[in-house]
Structure 1
Amino acid sequence: MPLVNPQEPVVLPEALEVWQRTLNWQPTSKQQSKFQNLYTEILKGNQRLNLTRITDPAEFWEKHLWDSLCGIQPWLNQSERSLQVIDVGTGAGFPGVPVAIVCPQWRITLLDSTQKKIAFLADLIATLQLKAEAITDRAERLGHLVQHREKYDLALIRAVATASVCAEYTLPLLKVGGSAVLYRGQWSEAETQGLQIAAKQLGGCITQIERFETPLSQSVRHCIYLKKVELTRAIFPRAIGVPTQKPL
């Protein structure tokens, strides 16, 4: 994989036509500038933290920017609405930071259990002047805190765990009527059936499964959309570690 020297100015693809063709949306020049600043800060942060192996500009654009925004395509052209959004297991800030850049009216919470990454993200939020906060915690604990339980309109979760675990992490955080977006690679009918069973126990249901091809490498991606249709029972999420050890 190509390595990028963070001392050299490396420019991300603009790709306006690709944005328009694939997501029916284009970033503004201000958003493009913030994407570039995000990329620069990630490269700098990589010198002391293991943030991402994806440093080639085209690959970064596709796998971190485009991929992050494909999941919120249903909301991209109505981003002026003010939503409470949480990115569960955000890691280096994906998909939450690109979402915060393109949806400045949304209030984004970036959640991760790694303190060093959250400290980096807190600095990044200040640098990019984003309407966001970064907090260190576990989804199993956060889902029982009154200031977070059933407070969010939208929950995003990418590359964290199996689909049923992702549902248990996200659905307790959502208001009734809210949505969760599960970012996945390949997807099967058996996974759909298993997730539907888990989601029902958590007060949710699958509303849509979207298949995407990434625009540069033509890799297959899926976004699974869940809707919160009733209150989640108080026993969920279960104790730290239990969702992964004993998936629903």
Structure 2
Amino acid sequence: MNQITIPVLPQMNELWQQTLNWQPDESQQQQFQRLYELIVEGNRSLNLTRITDPIEFWEKHLWDSLRGIARLLPANSSAGKNPELPLQSVQKAIDIGTGGGFPGLPIAIALPHLSVTLLDSTRKKITFLETVLPSLGIENAATLLGRSDEIARGAQHKQAYDLALLRAVGAASLCAKCALPLLKNGGLAVLYRGNWTVEEETELQRAIERLGGTIESVEAFTTPTSQGARHCVYLRKVVQQFDRPIR
């Protein structure tokens, strides 16, 4: 079998700093490089991603993953730019429909004190991620096989997470239905979107009213190298009047 020559990822420290007020240390950069290598190798047998060019991979998998939780990155955690986002209280996160590990793996690398659950319903992808975690030396992430609606019925996962991440999962209303039952009261869901329309927001608003959620904010931005349009929609899990208090 021919050996694949995998290029070195660009470090992009200046762009990291300019756009997220953060940049990876040497160890994190090495983990990003190893993740890139594993994804390219895994693509030989699994359909993990069509994005394998190093600059595209940096922007559309690494940078894009971390842009959604930028306020949680160490340099930003005390900046107070967006006090509506939880900063110190986030301990447990779940990446719903993680696929090849995005955005969960880059977030686990950038935030080593955050416990990240990588959830997917495809056994082959979970098996792949189970080999990736020890290869990257990541101890703050674990895999979970299943569907979000099924695991939300279990006591271990229902209302157990501070943060839910959904990227390329489906319609925003579907994302809300997947995420909100897994969040603690006061927890936050981050929906990674491309374009965002008034119609989508109206449909989402109708869906979350029944689920105990509210649209806290919508952030529009462009990607730093290709200038692509992106949005992050932040949903807050709120206590409803008919909810029983958690003791």
Q: Would you call these one fold, judging by a TM-score over 0.5?
A: yes
User: Aligned-pair RMSD on alpha carbons?
Assistant: 1.8
Which stretch of the first structure deviates more once superposed, 211-220 or 7-16? 7-16
Q: Distance in 2 between matches of 1:118 and 1:161?
A: 19
8 Å CA contact 2:163, 2:183 repeated in 1: yes
Matched, 1:71 2:68: yes
Q: Which residue of the partner structure matches residue 82 of structure 2?
A: none
Q: Which residue of the partner structure matches residue 225 of structure 2?
A: 216
8 Å CA contact 1:164, 1:199 repeated in 2: yes
Match of 1:201 among 201, 204, 210: 210
Q: For residue 93 of structure 1, give the secondary structure of its aligned residue in structure 2.
A: coil
Q: Which residue of the partner structure matches residue 176 of structure 1?
A: 185
AA partner of residue 96 (structure 2): V
Which stretch of the first structure deviates more once superposed, 17-26 or 75-84? 75-84
Q: Which residue of the partner structure matches residue 50 of structure 2?
A: 53
Q: For residue 188 of structure 2, give the secondary structure of its aligned residue in structure 1.
A: strand
The alignment's TM-score, normalised by the length of structure 2, stands at 0.89
Structure 2, unpaired ranges of 5+: 78-86
AA partner of residue 178 (structure 1): G
Q: Which residue of the partner structure matches residue 115 of structure 2?
A: 107
8 Å CA contact 1:89, 1:158 repeated in 2: yes
Structure 1, unpaired ranges of 5+: 235-248
1:29-73 Cα offsets, whole Å, 9 max, x none, are 111110001001111111111111111000100110011010001
Q: After superposition, where does 1:75-86 map in structure 2 within 5 Å?
A: 75-77=72-74, 78=77, 83-86=91-94
Matched, 1:229 2:226: no
1:23: how far off? 1.1
Q: Distance in 2 between matches of 1:199 and 1:108?
A: 24
List structure 1 runs of 4+ shifted beyond 3 angstroms: 78-82, 231-234
Q: Distance in 1 between matches of 2:242 and 2:226?
A: 42
Q: Which residue of the partner structure matches residue 29 of structure 2?
A: 32
**Aligned residue-pair number:** 230
1:9: how far off? 3.8
Match of 2:101 among 93, 99, 109: 93
1:62-99 Cα offsets, whole Å, 9 max, x none, are 11001101000121123886610000000000000000
Q: After superposition, where does 1:180-195 map in structure 2 within 5 Å?
A: 180-195=189-204
